[in-house]
Copies of this chain bind each other. A is one copy, B any other.
């Protein structure tokens, strides 16, 4: 029994050695690779991915898992051993359920899909992308059917990113959120108070931004002895080893928030990764629970901490010293209001804390309709524009900045979008409880003290890895199931306060 577990773990750790090598190649591709190095890099990564896939579907894994199925080790569900067995069982079954042909067809379709998406978006011709998208949706349906599901076909896809989540439950929570969020946004938009945004569009030199952002990331707890910060056009966070987590950002000298809040966001992801137990690296007890929980950590540091007034009570003098020309004459309140600007906009990745979730709702509802065959690809752009009108009050002037703005569908990432909003919801719920248990956090932040919150997150979330599901963890940590209450309370409190509505 113990022998089977040891073999299983050893095998999985070795797979992680390979997989983290792929992650390193991928990081390098996005940050360092010479212009013409792409073709060979793709060959390397494809070859290594094949080795990883072969190891993950190795029949010995099935044998070890079968031997462990009825063991005491497996029965202790939330122990490290139990979580290892349970999660690896789940992953193995999923990997084995997908026919090799389908995996290959999906890989091909998404490679072509991304190429087609790039070109179609550039030319603003959705029709050029439509056939590839139709193929991806069709294959995604087949994938869902191969994986199996209980209620909705979409469940099987959602489960890839948010294990154990159920569509109907997510829909219920997001519908509750929408119901309260739309009026709040309408109130803000219709009100008379507006921040002075031009102050954020002054000149913020790149080197000063880098220094200030790095210091802030370190201050909230991103450990640069176990990580680094680089520049890429699309910011991300990746983990290459138990002591090697890398984040990236992009600098816009004419818009302060993009790099700074990007750094806080990615550092939040990184702090989660750095808070996982390194001795379990590559095994479920040392892995993040889900994308939703991951996103909760980034959103928490970016928004709930980083856009709050207490945070800036501590950091604003440093910001003024770092950017004397841009911020020297700007009072703290004006700066704080500006970085909390709420304004319905076309582009998800540029959306504010409140309207962001409405962008997600549009996608969540549309991709369910596509997967259920309730909506044809041809009708997708129209449906997209209708929902933007209804939830955000704006109409995309072109598909390029409408239905084609995101890479996800072209890359086969169907079921991914709701995890962004789940992250916002989880974050608010965690933050509310942390404030109750170890707060008032505001005072700590104003004093530049972020360790108590970080330690609390480590204790309640990070160190458990995958020993609980996201739902279990939220229930355990906060005593409540997931709900939109905490987020709405938070948004009403902060944004409502600033705008004098809610």
State the A residues within 8 Å of B (CB). 14, 17-18, 20-21, 24-25, 28, 32-37, 39-41, 43-44, 47-48, 51, 224-228, 240-244, 246, 281
Contacts A/B (CB < 8 Å), 17 sampled: A14-B47, A17-B43, A21-B21, A21-B48, A24-B25, A34-B225, A34-B226, A34-B243, A34-B246, A36-B243, A37-B243, A37-B244, A39-B243, A40-B241, A40-B243, A40-B244, A41-B241
List B contacts of A40 (CB < 8 A).
Answer: 20, 241-244, 281
Query: Residue on B with the closest CB to A33?
Result: B244
Q: Of B20, B21, B37, which is within 8 A of A226 by CB?
A: B37
List B contacts of A241 (CB < 8 A).
Answer: 37, 40-41, 44
**Are B25 and A226 within 8 A (Cβ)?**
no
List B contacts of A14 (CB < 8 A).
Answer: 47
Knowing A241-B41, A244-B34, A244-B40 are in contact, say whether A21-B25 is a contact too (CB < 8 A).
Answer: yes
Query: Residue on B with the closest CB to A19?
Result: B44
How many copies of the polypeptide does the oligomer hold?
2
List B contacts of A43 (CB < 8 A).
Answer: 17
A14 to B54, CA, bound (A): 15
Knowing A24-B28, A224-B34 are in contact, say whether A48-B244 is a contact too (CB < 8 A).
Answer: no
**Are B225 and A32 within 8 A (Cβ)?**
no
**Are B34 and A228 within 8 A (Cβ)?**
yes
Which DSSP category, helix, strand, loop or mixed, fits chain A's interface? helix
A48 to B44, CA, bound (A): 13
Knowing A36-B243, A226-B34, A243-B36 are in contact, say whether A44-B17 is a contact too (CB < 8 A).
Answer: yes
List B contacts of A18 (CB < 8 A).
Answer: 47-48
**Are B25 and A225 within 8 A (Cβ)?**
no
Apart from A18-B47, A24-B24, A36-B226, what are 7 other A-B pairs with CB-CB below 8 Å?
A14-B47, A17-B47, A24-B25, A32-B32, A40-B243, A40-B281, A44-B241
List B contacts of A20 (CB < 8 A).
Answer: 40, 44
* Chain B nearest Cβ from A195, distance in angstroms: 38
**Are A225 and B44 within 8 A (Cβ)?**
no
**Are B281 and A35 within 8 A (Cβ)?**
no
List B contacts of A240 (CB < 8 A).
Answer: 37
A36 to B281, CA, bound (A): 15
A116 to B228, CA, bound (A): 30
**Are A228 and B48 within 8 A (Cβ)?**
no
* Chain B nearest Cβ from A30, distance in angstroms: 13
A2 to B69, CA, bound (A): 49
**Are A225 and B35 within 8 A (Cβ)?**
yes
A35 to B244, CA, bound (A): 9
- Going nearest first, the 5 A-B pairs with the smallest beta carbon separation are A40-B241, A37-B244, A36-B243, A35-B225, A17-B47
Knowing A14-B47, A44-B17 are in contact, say whether A228-B36 is a contact too (CB < 8 A).
Answer: no
Query: Residue on B with the closest CB to A32?
Result: B228
A384 to B25, CA, bound (A): 44
List B contacts of A242 (CB < 8 A).
Answer: 40
List B contacts of A48 (CB < 8 A).
Answer: 17-18, 21
Query: Residue on B with the closest CB to A46?
Result: B17
A227 to B244, CA, bound (A): 24
A20 to B14, CA, bound (A): 19
A491 to B227, CA, bound (A): 49
A244 to B39, CA, bound (A): 10
List B contacts of A39 (CB < 8 A).
Answer: 243
